[in-house]
């Protein structure tokens, strides 16, 4: 795969070629998650489509000219013309394939598909999700000589890898960069010998049979499954949000705050994530307007005090976003005053959304017993209601969702499983 710079761009995308171009950044977990998929697909589709990548931070003018506002962003060209919808953020392998397939004749697609051979492999335990909960379970299982495979739709690390600083994980005197803490957790588990299948599409999960299909053609079978899939950010649901996701609306400050140097930003939310991440975005942006539905912030007191003392940040209490639109380079957030129903327009260079989380259980709802908020119910050994299926970390029904509590859950499930399999 070729790496290009801005001066080569015009030449590379024309000349009758079909091209997919990856705008990536450094310190960008979704970019790292994409890289192995992109590399693998370049080998499968390389005869028909040219795979290129370009470092966004060093080619900022070109990125701005093309309207690329977040990393990674994939652009698809046929003889210089964009021919498919852009993909950005946590990009799925299947979405890239759909786009690539639309660019080449059907018979070529069939020939490529026929090269992919289905495979089946057996393990003692499949761990779904490589955040702190899953990684800790993997470490304990590995040290107990239990054969486990770690499966993640992204790179290992979970939320910690996109948290800029963690100051409350025991054992470190100074605050730790989240990506380093998660990197160290992952390396510790990997070096023990746990098998990793990360940055994959999880196509199907059969909890009863203990089977997981990844990337459509690889089946993993096991005696036990640990669900450690954590949570995902909520969308506001306001019109325009989906369309502008990755085109000015972001859900990851670590990934995208650096693109807002001396720019004005709107942050939606007022809980812990919104407050902590606004503090981080303020290192770059000149002005932050937070839009919060309640009459006071709901983050912890210390974080609130720091935020309210920051002259760059102001909070619009009791307001909610009603729509997002684009006017030229600017993003227009229409907000409603919940007391007066008056609507106002906030003009900014970008919007960050931090409005809470929901459990990642979409693939395996089935017969799993959930609480009223959609989190998985477990007993004290982390067993779910399905025989041989455990759940740990943020995805389970519990009061406090922290790295330490996820790590504790992973420990308990792994020890319980090791004893059972003994």
Ligand X SMILES: Cc1cc2nc3c(=O)[nH]c(=O)nc-3n(C[C@H](O)[C@H](O)[C@H](O)COP(=O)(O)OP(=O)(O)OC[C@H]3O[C@@H](n4cnc5c(N)ncnc54)[C@H](O)[C@@H]3O)c2cc1C
397 lies in the binding site for ligand X (CB under 6 A): no
Place of tokens 């953020």: 89
Question: Measured in whole angstroms, how far is the alpha carbon of residue 379 from the centre of its chain?
Answer: 28
Among 149, 147, 102, 112, residue whose Cα is nearest residue 130: 149
Q: Which residue, 13 or 392, has its beta carbon nearer to ligand X?
A: 392
Judged by CB under 6 A, which of 28, 148, 386, 403 binds ligand X?
403
Shortest spacing between CB 198 and ligand X, in angstroms: 8
Q: Which residue, 157 or 248, has its beta carbon nearer to ligand X?
A: 157
168 lies in the binding site for ligand X (CB under 6 A): yes
Radius of gyration of the chain (CA): 22
Q: What residues from 110 to 129 belong to the interface with ligand X (CB under 6 A)? A: 128-129
Q: Between vectors from CA 59 to CA 254 and to CA 104, what angle results, nearest 5°?
A: 95
378 lies in the binding site for ligand X (CB under 6 A): no
Q: Binding string to ligand X for residues 195 to 214, with x set by CB under 6 A, is what?
A: -------x------------
Binding segment for ligand X (CB under 6 A), chosen from 34-42, 237-245, 313-321, 401-409, is 401-409
Terminal Cα distance for the chain, rounded: 47
Judged by CB under 6 A, which of 21, 382, 406, 417 binds ligand X?
406
Measured distance CA(119)–CA(344) in Å, rounded: 56
Q: Are 417 and 146 in contact (CB under 8 A)?
A: yes
Shortest spacing between CB 146 and ligand X, in angstroms: 19
> What is the SS3 assignment for 54?
strand
Judged by CB under 6 A, which of 83, 144, 244, 363 binds ligand X?
363
Shortest spacing between CB 142 and ligand X, in angstroms: 16
Q: Which residue, 19 or 396, has its beta carbon nearer to ligand X?
A: 396
- Count residues near ligand X (CB under 6 A): 34
393 lies in the binding site for ligand X (CB under 6 A): yes
CB atoms within 10 A of CB 81: 9
Measured distance CA(109)–CA(152) in Å, rounded: 27
153 lies in the binding site for ligand X (CB under 6 A): yes
Q: Which residue, 155 or 266, has its beta carbon nearer to ligand X?
A: 155
Shortest spacing between CB 41 and ligand X, in angstroms: 19
Measured distance CA(307)–CA(312) in Å, rounded: 9
CB atoms within 10 A of CB 105: 10
Binding segment for ligand X (CB under 6 A), chosen from 113-121, 151-159, 240-248, 309-317, is 151-159
194 lies in the binding site for ligand X (CB under 6 A): no
Beta strand segments in 297-408, E:
313-316, 319-327, 330-337, 343-348, 350-353, 357-359, 389-391
> What is the SS3 assignment for 355?
coil
* Interacting residues toward ligand X by CB under 6 A: 128-134, 151-154, 158-160, 163, 166, 168, 202, 228-231, 273, 276-277, 360, 363, 393-394, 401-404, 406
């Amino acid at each position: 795969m070729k790496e290009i710079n801005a001066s080569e761009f015009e030449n590379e995308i024309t000349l009758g070629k079909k091209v997919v171009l990856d705008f990536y950044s450094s310190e960008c977990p979704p970019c790292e998650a994409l890289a192995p998929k992109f590399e693998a697909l370049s080998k499968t589709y390389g005869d028909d489509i040219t795979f290129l990548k370009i470092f966004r931070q060093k080619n900022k003018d070109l990125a701005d000219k093309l309207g690329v506002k977040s990393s990674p962003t994939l652009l698809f060209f046929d003889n210089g013309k964009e021919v498919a919808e852009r993909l950005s953020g946590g990009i799925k392998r299947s979405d890239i394939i759909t786009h690539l397939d639309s660019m080449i004749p059907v018979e070529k697609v069939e020939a490529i598909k026929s090269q992919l051979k289905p495979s089946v492999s057996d393990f003692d335990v499949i761990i779904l999700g490589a955040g702190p909960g899953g990684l800790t379970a993997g470490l304990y299982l590995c040290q107990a000589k239990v054969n486990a495979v770690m499966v993640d739709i992204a790179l290992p690390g979970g939320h910690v890898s996109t948290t800029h600083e963690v100051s409350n994980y025991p054992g470190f005197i100074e605050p730790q960069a989240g990506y380093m803490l998660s990197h160290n957790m992952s390396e510790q588990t990997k070096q023990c010998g746990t098998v990793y299948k990360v940055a994959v599409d999880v196509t199907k999960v059969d909890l009863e049979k203990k089977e997981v299909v990844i990337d459509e053609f690889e089946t993993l079978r096991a005696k036990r499954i640990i669900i450690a899939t954590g949570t995902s950010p909520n969308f506001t649901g306001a019109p325009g949000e989906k369309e502008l996701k990755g085109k000015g609306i972001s859900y990851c400050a670590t990934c995208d705050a650096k693109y807002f140097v001396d720019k004005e930003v709107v942050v939606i939310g007022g809980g812990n994530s919104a407050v902590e991440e606004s503090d981080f975005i303020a290192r770059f942006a000149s002005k932050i307007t937070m839009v919060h539905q309640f009459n006071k912030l709901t983050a912890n007191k210390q974080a609130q005090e720091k935020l309210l003392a920051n002259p760059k940040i102001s909070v619009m209490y009791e307001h909610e976003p009603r729509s997002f639109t684009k006017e030229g380079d600017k993003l227009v957030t229409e907000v409603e005053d919940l007391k007066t129903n008056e609507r106002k327009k906030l003009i900014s260079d970008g919007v960050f959304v931090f409005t809470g989380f929901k459990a990642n259980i979409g693939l395996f709802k089935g017969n799993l017993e959930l609480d009223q908020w959609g989190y998985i119910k477990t007993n004290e050994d982390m067993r779910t209601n399905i025989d041989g299926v455990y759940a740990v970390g943020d995805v389970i029904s519990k009061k406090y969702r922290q790295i330490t509590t996820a790590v504790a859950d992973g420990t308990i499930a792994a020890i319980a499983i090791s004893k059972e399999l003994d």
